[in-house]
Amino acid sequence: MCGIIGYTGGGNAAQIIYEGLKNLEYRGYDSAGMAIMENGACKTVKSCGRVEKLGASLRFFGGHTGIGHTRWATHGKPSNANAHPHTYGRITVVHNGIIENYAELRQRLTERGEIFLSETDSEVIAHLIDGFYDGDLIEAVIKCADMLKGSYALLCLCEGKEEIAAAKCRSPVILGLGENCNYLASDMTALAGKCKEVCVLEDGDFALVTPLSAKIYDGGKREITRAYLPNLAEPSALALGGFPHFMVKELWEAPATVKNTITAFCGQKDLIKSALSGVRRIVFTGCGTAYHAALAGKRYIEEFAHIPCETDYAGELRYKTLNVAEKTALIAITQSGETADTVEAARLYKSQGCTVLAVTNSPYSAITRIADVVVPVAAGAEIGVAATKSYSGQIAALYMLASLVAEKEENFAAVAEMPKLILKTLEKIDIYATARLCAESSGVYFLGRDIDYAVALEGSLKLKEVSYIPGCGYPASELKHGPLALIDGSTLSVFVITDPDISVKAEGAVEQVLARRGKVAVITGLPGVKHDLKGRAEIIELPRCDKYLSPLLSAAALQLLAYRTAVILGCDPDKPRNLAKSVTVE
């Protein structure tokens, strides 16, 4: 969730940390801060709100080693006091994760007479490291880690030392190797253009970096070796490129995402097919948008390959009684590859002997180190907190996966045509009138049948995320079983209708809403539906395509609808309140 970065070298540490935090801000933006080592002393600045508030302080810093943090609050409200870094004695720390036993540790330290200045769980770490420190920083960090329960990506400074210590447990830490300098960060976006090679720390790893060295240790303080890999982060992906927001920029990158995902998938076809050979049951899991993609994946596998499937939210799946049948596969979907619940669900199923496939946009992430096979999503960096192009990549990957298992090679030609149709959708659809209706409504309800229901859930989530308008997604068949009570003249119902075989049934639900004076918008590529409802509902017309590939078009329309609505209401679609991009805590 939170973003952390460290730098040590010959450059202006404050400027480098600030730039890195700007690139990490999608991980949390409740508050931000940095600590810079100058003349043996640690100087700190922090502020509630966005990273840019730190900019005015940059001229007061001149050191060459520092750490920074942009926060998504877990323990303690957003405030200057709760912002990181936290300092106690000689030690200053930034932390991403949750310390589950912090209350017990804090009570013990308080009884010893130590004073706390924040409400966070993280502050105990500074106290513990300072208590253990006797001249060897990495040893003190290792001893501290032995006392912590939970998850942590930790960076630490000590007065008088031009070095940074790091620790990793179930929250990501990337080490970047520069020219006469070294970096540490939550993910590669902070290191775009900074270094050519990165090293992904494993759980239980510790690192100590100076301008000229980077050493990694295990919990016994034995030096170990980890592979260095190419830094895949591109600075161009972090620029708006003339767009007003990342959300709409990344929407327009969906065609390229699908095209690149097709290419990447074809490079893994043999591995994917081998991993699923003989599988008799498939469990799909994910969180948020990834879960909605899982619903579509389930439909594809059952329709094309006739293999029984289940879907469950990862946060629920990992705590349910595990009944693993013979030859079960888990397909875990996560954009970041670091989603805590999804990673832990994958870890659990792997421990029971299941085949695990990871559908992810992050090739160096935690999920890729657990999975037997990675199903690649080639979306590139996605900066907007609300997922857009990564969902398109997930849908394309899952469609191809199901087609591969079912040996329906002709489907690959069909999905290869979709980038053109997504582009046509974005270029041609008129979404403004419906966005205005959304902005004026007390609630917006999204409805569809079969695979359109999975898309309706995604449309509802997008609108809530970026515009804060309440609403839900429902199967259109369930409308009269309760949700119809919500309909009145102040609400809007958005129907997704792309399946010609059941369009008449879906139109019946539209008629029920219209009969109760509810406002209606319909997203469809079916001429008959447009003809039947013209003049009585707002029609958002899609290009015609196969119903199983229609989520690539209908979801793009719904994501654009959410974006336009947020802009009308004056909301920031890139940084929705209370949210963060990479959910690395439970």
Helices (H), 68-155: 102-111, 123-132, 137-145
Number of independent structural domains in the chain: 3
Instruction: Using the predicted structure, report yes or no on whether residue 238 has a pLDDT greater than 90.
Output: no
Same-domain check for residues 370 and 387:
yes
CA 72, 349, 100: angle at the middle one, nearest 5?
Answer: 35
pLDDT of residue 580: 85
A 10 A CB-CB count for 428 gives: 10
Same-domain check for residues 148 and 294:
no
For residue 511, the number of C-alpha atoms closer than 13 Å in the C-beta half-sphere is 8
pLDDT in tens, 446-479: 999 999 999 999 999 999 999 999 999 999 999 9
Instruction: Using the predicted structure, report yes or no on whether residue 565 has a pLDDT greater than 80.
Output: yes
Instruction: Using the predicted structure, report yes or no on whether residue 334 has a pLDDT greater than 90.
Output: yes
Same-domain check for residues 278 and 307:
yes
Instruction: Using the predicted structure, report yes or no on whether residue 159 has a pLDDT greater than 90.
Output: yes
A 10 A CB-CB count for 236 gives: 10
pLDDT of residue 303: 97
pLDDT of residue 325: 74
Instruction: Using the predicted structure, report yes or no on whether residue 67 has a pLDDT greater than 80.
Output: yes
pLDDT of residue 142: 98
Closest CA to 24 of 512, 421, 383, 408: 383
Instruction: Using the predicted structure, report yes or no on whether residue 235 has a pLDDT greater than 90.
Output: no
Amino acid found at 29: Y
Task: Give the residue-averaged pLDDT of 223-233.
Answer: 94
pLDDT in tens, 105-116: 999 999 999 999
- Size of the chain, expressed as the number of residues it contains: 586
Assign 152 to helix, strand or coil.
strand
> Could you say which of 205, 237, 269 is where a domain stops?
237
Task: Give the residue-averaged pLDDT of 346-356.
Answer: 95
The three state secondary structure string of 319-358 is CCCCCCCCCEEEEEEECCCCCHHHHHHHHHHHHCCCEEEE
Same-domain check for residues 349 and 463:
no
In a domain, 460, yes or no: yes
DSSP 8-state class, residue 201: P
CATH number of the domain residue 111 falls in? 3.60.20.10
CA distance 526 to 84: 53
| Cβ(540)–Cβ(521) below 8 Å | yes
pLDDT in tens, 516-562: 999 999 999 999 999 999 999 999 999 999 999 999 999 999 999 99
Task: Give the residue-averaged pLDDT of 219-238.
Answer: 92
Same-domain check for residues 26 and 141:
yes
Same-domain check for residues 183 and 270:
no
52 torsion bin: left (phi>0), alpha (psi -120 to 50), beta (else): alpha
pLDDT of residue 51: 94
pLDDT of residue 581: 81
CA distance 407 to 403: 6
Same-domain check for residues 569 and 434:
yes
Same-domain check for residues 181 and 82:
yes
Task: Give the residue-averaged pLDDT of 131-157.
Answer: 97
From 171-175, 254-258, 476-480, 524-528, the region with the lowest mean pLDDT: 476-480
Same-domain check for residues 244 and 156:
no
pLDDT of residue 585: 72
Catalytic residues: 2, 581
In a domain, 424, yes or no: no
Where in the sequence is the domain holding 284, given as residue range(s)? 240-416
In a domain, 98, yes or no: yes
Q: What backbone torsions phi and psi does residue 138 show, to the nearest 5 degrees? A: -65, -35
Same-domain check for residues 175 and 293:
no
> Could you say which of 190, 208, 237 is where a domain stops?
237
CA distance 230 to 350: 28
In a domain, 517, yes or no: yes
Task: Give the residue-averaged pLDDT of 308-329.
Answer: 90
DSSP 8-state class, residue 570: T
Kindly provide the b/e burial profile for residues 400-427, where b requires at least 16 CB atoms within 10 angstroms of the residue's own CB. Answer: bbbbbbbeeeebbeebeebbebbbebbe
CA distance 298 to 307: 9
CATH number of the domain residue 397 falls in? 3.40.50.10490
pLDDT of residue 6: 98
In a domain, 584, yes or no: no
In a domain, 214, yes or no: yes
Output the CA–CA distances (angstroms, integers) from residue 296 to 129, 397, 419, 560, in the order listed: 48, 11, 18, 20
Distance of CA 125 to the CA centre of its chain: 26
Same-domain check for residues 343 and 435:
no
pLDDT in tens, 127-141: 999 999 999 999 999
Is the bond preceding 483 in cis, omega lying within 30 degrees of 0?
no
Same-domain check for residues 216 and 126:
yes
Instruction: Using the predicted structure, report yes or no on whether residue 37 has a pLDDT greater than 80.
Output: yes
CA distance 134 to 105: 20
Q: Give the model's confidence band at 324: pLDDT under 50 very low, under 70 low, under 90 confident, else very high.
A: confident
CA distance 28 to 246: 16
Mean predicted lDDT score pLDDT of the chain: 95
In a domain, 120, yes or no: yes
Task: Give the residue-averaged pLDDT of 169-185.
Answer: 95
Q: Give the model's confidence band at 583: pLDDT under 50 very low, under 70 low, under 90 confident, else very high.
A: confident
Instruction: Using the predicted structure, report yes or no on whether residue 496 has a pLDDT greater than 80.
Output: yes
DSSP 8-state class, residue 280: -
In a domain, 422, yes or no: no
CA distance 565 to 314: 30
Query: For the packed helices 123-132 and 137-145, what is the interaxial angle rounded to 10 degrees?
Result: 120
pLDDT in tens, 68-106: 999 988 889 999 999 999 999 999 999 999 999 999 999
> Could you say which of 237, 271, 290 is where a domain stops?
237
